[in-house]
A = this chain, B = another copy of it.
Amino acid sequence: MYFDSVEAMDRAELEQLQVERLKKTIENAKKSPFYSERLADFNVNDIRTADDITKLPFTTKNDLRSQYPHGLLTKPLEDFVRMHASSGTTGTPTAIFYTQKDLDTWAELMARSMYACGCRKSDTLQNMSGYGLFTGGLGIHYGSERLGMITIPSGAGNTKRQIKLIRDHNVSVLHIIPSFALYFAQQVQEAGFKTEDMPWRIALIGAEPHTEEARAKIEEMMNIKAYNSYGLSEMNGPGVAFECIHQTGMHLWEDAYIAEIIDPKTGEHVAEGEIGELVMTTIRREGMPIIRYRTRDLTRFIPGQCECGRTHRRIDRITGRADDMMILKGVNIYPMQIEQCLMSMPEVGQNYLIELVREGVSDHMTVKVEIKEEFFVEDMRVLQGLQKKIAKTLCSEILLTPRVELCQHDSIPKTEGKAVRVIDTRDED
């Protein structure tokens, strides 16, 4: 391991480290205009165990917006050397500032992440991601150099040149966004090369949430091992959590962040292994600490220990945004849970629709599902069997049995742009 003493640290020791760093973080945060007010009455000695973090208030995206640009900074401006801002010219943006030490920490976490999935000093990495304000580009770049890989800052675009560079320089690691990877594999084939003859070994495919199926397809088409990662600019950028070679969830670097998973409605911790909103606290950032940041990203802690020996807990791939959460009969349900169930069944087509209606005092969910043509047979008993199977599969995931309606191929109306998957009429009169 890149830093085995930290990465394989005994849990009790790690939690002790977290408590110490959290206390320092609180004291440091109080030097900023925002937290000096927000935490004015907070006594740092109230933090005794890692769980005491729940005594602290949340920080939200709106807090970052209202404090733009400098409200969370703990040091004079001239101590900072980097700023990344959210894109867009309308609305209030958010800005993240880094001291040199913060950049060093970030590069170290990135290098550690890439080492975890098998990258080594002797590798050559081609950074096929855009640079600029997007933290993915410079984040991977600095980590790759820190690990000692030859780093080729090819940037996005120009597929032909990308292929030439990969072949000329024996590139073994790609940083490529998942939605581009399949297109790129095709381009390689059209250029007359077999993907199995390409020198690559590892693809870093974070930056966009994607399914396990998408990963499997990338791995197959590109003849590569693809590793998922998690990050967000509020927590530096990429390198917050990263898969190791076992590909069983992403180790979240708990010496640098305290992660919690909460019910987005109540703000309480969910039970171990349950899906909820990821809440993050920086405990190794000096210039702009953020405490209990509501990421709005949905995930869960993966129970158990990883074979690799790293003790830092793993989070599951992001399965949606907290804003998408539905509550039915007191149960939190996320559209992505339903989508994943449906897509795992060979009979189900591409399109589905979730409807929530109120009937009297009771709420009901109906899931309309398009069935592939070859499975849409005349025999009613077969269709009823399929209907029951879908309902049962969904119940095992969302703990409620929805009504299931089977629909013919192409019968659910398509919408322009982003698909509408949920129609909730319960609060309409």
Which of A's residues lie within 8 Å of B, judged by CB? 68-69, 77-78, 80-85, 87-89, 93, 95, 97, 100, 103, 121-122, 124, 130-133, 137-138, 141, 144-145, 148-155, 158, 160-161, 164-165, 168-169
Contacts and interface: CB of A to CB of B under 8 A. Distances in A.
Nearest to A148: B81
18 contacts: A77-B122, A78-B122, A78-B148, A81-B148, A82-B152, A83-B151, A85-B165, A85-B168, A88-B161, A89-B164, A93-B164, A95-B168, A130-B155, A131-B131, A131-B132, A131-B153, A133-B154, A138-B141
Given A121-B78, A122-B78, A153 B165 contact: no
A100 B148 contact: yes
B145 A103 contact: yes
A232 to B, nearest CB: 17
Nearest to A85: B165
Contacts of A153: 82, 84, 131-133, 138
A82 B169 contact: no
A199 to B, nearest CB: 13
Given A89-B158, A93-B164, A131-B153, 15 more contacts: A69-B168, A77-B124, A78-B122, A81-B144, A81-B145, A81-B148, A82-B151, A82-B152, A83-B152, A95-B168, A100-B148, A131-B137, A132-B154, A133-B152, A138-B153
Number of copies: 2
Contacts of A88: 161
B85 A152 contact: yes
Given A103-B145, A121-B78, A122-B78, A89 B161 contact: yes
Nearest to A121: B78
A80 B144 CA distance: 11
Contacts of A124: 77, 83
A147 to B, nearest CB: 9
A81 B131 contact: no
Contact of A155 (B95, B132, B144): B132
A148 B100 CA distance: 8
* 10 tightest Cβ-Cβ pairs between the two chains A and B: A132-B155, A131-B131, A78-B122, A81-B145, A89-B160, A80-B150, A83-B152, A89-B161, A82-B151, A132-B153
A371 to B, nearest CB: 45
A192 to B, nearest CB: 14
A71 to B, nearest CB: 13
Contacts of A165: 85
A87 B138 contact: no
Contacts of A148: 78, 81, 100
A156 to B, nearest CB: 8
A380 B275 CA distance: 91
